[in-house]
Chain A
Amino acid sequence: MTQSQSSYSPSKPHRKRDWLPFWLILPTVVVLLAIQVYPALYTVWLSVHERKPAGWTYVGVDNFRRLLNMGLFKESIGHTIIFLVGYASLTMLLGFIVAMLLNRKMRLSGFYVTLLFIPWIIADLLTGIVFRLLVFPDYGIFSGILQNPALFPPDGISILTAARPKPWFGDFPFPPSPAMIYLILASAWRALPFITLLLLASMQTIPQEVLESSRIDGANGWQIVRHIMIPLMLPTLVVALFSLTLSGMNGIGMVFSLTGGGPGTSTEVLSMLLYAIGWRQLYFGRAAALALLIAVINWLLITGTLRFTRLQERSIS
Chain B
Amino acid sequence: MTTTKSTRKRWEGIGVNLAMLLVLVFAMVPIFTTVLISFKSEQDIIRKPPNIFPCDTPEGFKWSECRWSVEGYQRVLAPKPSETSPLGVAITGNIPRIYIPNSVLYATATSLLVVFLAGLSGYAFSRYRFRGHGLLMTGILAITGVPLLTNLLALYQMAATFRKADLPFYDDRLFIIAVYMGFYLPLSVWIAKGFFDAIPRELEEAALIDGCTPVGALLRVTMPLALPGLAAVFLLTFVSVWNEFIAGYLIIAKNQYKPVMFGLYDFLGQNIINLQVIAAACILIASPVVILFVFTRRSFFRAMVEGAVKG
Partners in one complex: yes
| Interfacial residues, chain A to chain B (CB-CB below 8 A) | 1, 3-5, 7-9, 17-18, 20-22, 24-25, 27-29, 31-32, 34-40, 42-43, 46, 97-98, 101, 104, 106, 108, 110, 112-119, 121-127, 129-131, 133-134, 136, 138-141, 143-144, 189, 192-194, 197-198, 201, 236, 239, 243, 246, 249-250, 252-253, 256-257, 271, 274-275, 278-279, 284, 287-288, 291-292, 294-295, 298-299, 302
B149 touches A294 (CB 8 A): yes
- B214 interface residue (CB < 8 Å to A): yes
Pick out which of these stretches binds chain A: B73-81, B87-95, B288-296.
B288-296
B150 with A250: CB separation less than 8 A: yes
For B117, the chain A residues whose CB sits under 8 A away are: 27-28, 31
CB 8 Å contact bits of B196-214 with A (1 = contact, 0 = none): 0000000000000000001
User: Smallest CB–CB gap between B248 and chain A, Å?
Assistant: 10
Q: How far is the CB of A99 from chain B (nearest CB, A)?
A: 11
A63 to chain B, nearest CB (A): 12
> Which one of A3, A43, A239, A253 lies within 8 Å of B151 (CB-CB)?
A43
Q: Roughly how many angstroms separate A52 CA and B165 CA in the complex, as a whole number?
A: 21
For B278, list chain A residues within 8 Å (CB). Answer: 129, 133
Q: Can you report 20 A-B residue pairs in the complex whose CB atoms are below 8 A from each other?
A: A20-B124, A24-B120, A31-B117, A36-B182, A101-B16, A112-B24, A116-B23, A125-B261, A126-B261, A126-B264, A130-B282, A133-B279, A138-B50, A139-B273, A197-B305, A246-B145, A250-B148, A252-B149, A292-B150, A302-B145
* Residues of chain B with a CB closer than 8 A to A274's CB: 149-150, 152
Contacts of A97 in B (CB 8 A): 19
Contact present for B24 and A42 (CB under 8 Å): no
Contact A28 B121 (CB under 8 A): yes
Contact B151 A39 (CB under 8 A): yes
Tell me if B234 counts as interface (CB < 8 A to partner A): no
Judged by DSSP, the binding face of B is: helix
Q: How many interface residues does B have (CB within 8 Å)?
A: 92
The closest CB in chain B to the CB of A119 belongs to B27
Instruction: Please pick, from B135, B142, B246, B304, the residue contacting A4 in the complex, using a CB distance under 8 A.
Output: B135
